[in-house]
């Protein structure tokens, strides 16, 4: 429930950006030749592990990480365009909250240019989750 809500919030936050495709991360850039083509720029959401602690009764509070993989085409403006879009994505993602998650906060940024014409920027965020019922 909380991951679905966060995923939908990210999609909504990116609705009027240049991002043309949003999906769950599945090592997409590692298997470019085997993947069905997706339009660029693309944003893939990777959910990391969640550490849970009891709050009261069966209520749990979790902390975790979410990585946003922004994949752009190098020939569409090079690193300047990619970094500008990465900044826009980050501004829109930071501070996102909902009923079951809050406090999306940027922790680190990495750039991966190991895929010829594809540039991948990976922003890692911390997030807090709430879960009822154990």
Domain range annotation of the chain: 2-131
Report pTM.
0.90
| pLDDT for residue 19 | 98
- CA-based nearest residue to 94, from 129, 68, 60, 64: 68
pLDDT in tens, 25-58: 987 666 555 555 789 999 999 999 999 999 988 8
127: which residues sit within 8 A by CB, 6+ positions away?
6, 63, 64, 65, 66, 101, 102, 103, 104, 105
Stated length of the chain = 134
Using CA atoms, how far residue 77 sits from 23, 80, 84, 93, in Å, is 23, 6, 10, 23
Q: How far apart are CA 104 and CA 46, in angstroms?
A: 14
| pLDDT for residue 91 | 97
* CB of 42 closer than 8 Å to CB of 17: no
| pLDDT for residue 98 | 97
pLDDT in tens, 58-112: 899 999 999 999 999 988 888 899 999 999 999 999 999 999 999 899 999 999 8
Alpha carbons within 13 angstroms on the beta-carbon side of residue 23 total 15
Question: Exposed, middle or buried, 14 (CB in 10 Å: 0-12/13-18/19+)?
Answer: buried
Q: How far apart are the first and last CA of the chain?
A: 13
Write the DSSP symbol of residue 95: T
2-131 to CATH, choices 3.90.1150.10, 3.30.360.10, 3.30.2000.30, 1.10.443.10: 3.30.2000.30
* Unique residue bearing structure tokens 């009891």: 54
| pLDDT for residue 60 | 94
């Amino acid at each position: 429930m909380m991951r679905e809500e966060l995923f939908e919030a990210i999609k909504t936050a990116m609705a009027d950006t240049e991002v043309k495709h949003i999906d769950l991360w599945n090592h997409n850039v590692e298997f470019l030749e085997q993947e069905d083509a997706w339009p660029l720029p693309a944003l893939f959401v990777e959910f990391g592990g969640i550490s849970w602690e009891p709050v009261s009764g069966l209520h749990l509070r979790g902390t975790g990480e979410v990585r946003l993989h922004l994949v752009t085409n190098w020939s569409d403006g090079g690193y300047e365009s990619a970094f500008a879009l990465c900044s826009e994505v980050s501004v829109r993602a930071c501070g996102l909250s909902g009923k079951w998650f809050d406090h999306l906060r940027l922790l680190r940024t990495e750039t991966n240019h190991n895929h010829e014409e594809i540039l991948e920027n990976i922003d890692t965020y911390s997030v807090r989750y709430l879960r009822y019922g154990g």
